[in-house]
Structure 1
């Protein structure tokens, strides 16, 4: 006999192939997580992982269990939703995933206007890194998500939610801070702070695409995993940066200078949902229609 936690913990370790990252993902300490995986192996009498000093690999038994465990949890979640749907006292929430580096005023306005439009549909918000958002959409743990994308995945449908002009970010004491406007070439004559492609592939790809169009190859001074870390690195003078104007208006940081760019460059925010063979649920379609009216 095993419990659902065995499968949830196993999936986390199997996808991360790292006990520390898996423990952070499921919000428990590494020791009890490792003990739970050992307990699962002992109960079934199988070896699920090959444990080497610097790497972790799935055994054939582990690969088979991963496929079945994912399918089982998806079926369980669908069963739960089907049961709750027939209980008229229960209102199924619209589960919205948010890229955890988003702090846009337009996003808050979008959700606030949706609450006024459909007060009968509760909203449940979950913040995640972009790769986690994709997995959550595929596993139907969230109904829609906002991300900087773009994501190359046939299972996920994405549409533009809105765009925001790209602006330059400089330390307050930088020699260009007194200018009214900058070109990208002028800005990127200085080392730049970048987002890691692993944590925020959409932001990384959008910046890379704009730089390719302008034939620019800046020196990367450092990489950031979070928006706060990105802005802090710029503020302390580790490098210059770029961001979308909407974010900078929302955050209003006093330790950095924000300047418009001469080029017409924009960041795009996407709304994502999983492709459904027989169409998306009615509340999801209503929400997507609502977002489309904001562009």
Structure 2
């Protein structure tokens, strides 16, 4: 009895030293019944492959293959090991999926910064659809001024951001997320308020309110590009730091203005009349992220793909 126990203990000890590479290489040989084809399949030379299978047989204490001059055959023990090895690797794949799903469930959320002038319904739509498509990766949304957003992206305190554009920076990538038509904003008593459409030339003939370049550099850059394109130069009589202040100045009759249609649908001000422009001009909202030397995390790359697909 003692001798048999020692033999059994020896066999168990040998089996415990079996590595996954032994089983993976044995499976290739057992399924191909050729050391040459198996070596090509696992991308190693025949000699180390044959040595690994021999080592496995030594550790198992059984013959797994019958080596004939021109072909290989599985022994009954080899056939049984092949069956169990296949099941083992299937179980390992299932374990890998479960672990990855668990990791995703408890993964750090994506930190998204939003320029405080970006209140369009499209942003809410983007985040809602993301939650439906990828519920395991939550989003933390933080509103901030453009300068704060730029600093947060550079320091990686934010993973991504939404803005009308930030000052040119080699460190920050800016991708088009969506576009919204530019509309004219008029006081209720303005002579153009009853029009169904207004041209930029007509609008520019009246005193205008501008947004602050230091607070909203992207909006200012986009509006300057529109004016250059259509050769219009309105007289600026006031400047606003916030969208609320901008609309208040227009409503009070201090000047006319422009905004994107999505913002105006969201705000629905009764003291400001919104009239479409005759020209096909748009404000563009960008999704931004920092260029990273080692590439973007998978979750961030998926979010950027999702955000830009809305355009």
TM-score w.r.t. the length of structure 1 is 0.69
Equivalence for 1:100? 116
Write the distance in 2 (CA, Å) between the matches of 1:207 and 1:135. Answer: 24
Equivalence for 1:162? 178
Task: Determine whether 1:232 maps to 2:235.
Answer: no
Task: Determine whether 1:178 maps to 2:189.
Answer: no
Instruction: State the secondary structure of the residue aligned to 1:218.
Output: coil
Write the distance in 1 (CA, Å) between the matches of 2:118 and 2:280. Answer: 22
Question: Over alpha carbons, which structure has the higher Rg?
Answer: 2
Write the distance in 2 (CA, Å) between the matches of 1:212 and 1:205. Answer: 11
Write the distance in 2 (CA, Å) between the matches of 1:232 and 1:166. Answer: 18
Write the distance in 1 (CA, Å) between the matches of 2:238 and 2:228. Answer: 19
Equivalence for 2:130? 114
Of 204, 208, 215, the match for 2:231? 215
Rate the CA distance shift 1:129–1:150 in 2: closer, same or farther, 3 A. closer
Equivalence for 2:267? 251
Of 278, 285, 288, the match for 1:269? 285
Task: Determine whether 1:153 maps to 2:169.
Answer: yes
Write the distance in 1 (CA, Å) between the matches of 2:171 and 2:198. Answer: 40
Rate the CA distance shift 1:120–1:190 in 2: closer, same or farther, 3 A. same
Instruction: State the secondary structure of the residue aligned to 2:221.
Output: helix
Let me know the Cα RMSD of the aligned residues.
1.5
Q: Which has the higher helix share?
A: 2
Runs of 4+ residues deviating >4 angstroms: 87-90
* Contact map agreement 2:287 2:308 (CA 8 A) in 1: no
Deviation string for 1:210-267 (max 9, x for gaps)? 0111111111111111111111110111100000111111111111100011111110
Q: How many angstroms does 1:90 deviate by?
A: 4.3
Q: How many angstroms does 1:89 deviate by?
A: 8.2
Rate the CA distance shift 1:141–1:212 in 2: closer, same or farther, 3 A. same
TM-score w.r.t. the length of structure 2 is 0.66
Equivalence for 1:290? 306
Q: How many angstroms does 1:146 deviate by?
A: 0.2
Write the distance in 2 (CA, Å) between the matches of 1:133 and 1:269. Answer: 14
Write the distance in 2 (CA, Å) between the matches of 1:270 and 1:110. Answer: 13
Task: Determine whether 1:135 maps to 2:163.
Answer: no
Instruction: State the secondary structure of the residue aligned to 1:102.
Output: coil
* Contact map agreement 2:104 2:137 (CA 8 A) in 1: no
Equivalence for 1:205? 221
* Structure 1 residues without counterparts, runs of 5 or longer: 1-86
* Structure 2 residues without counterparts, runs of 5 or longer: 1-102
Q: How many angstroms does 1:121 deviate by?
A: 1.2
Deviation string for 1:163-212 (max 9, x for gaps)? 11111000011111011110011011111111111000000111111011
Write the distance in 2 (CA, Å) between the matches of 1:293 and 1:208. Answer: 27
Write the distance in 1 (CA, Å) between the matches of 2:105 and 2:241. Answer: 42
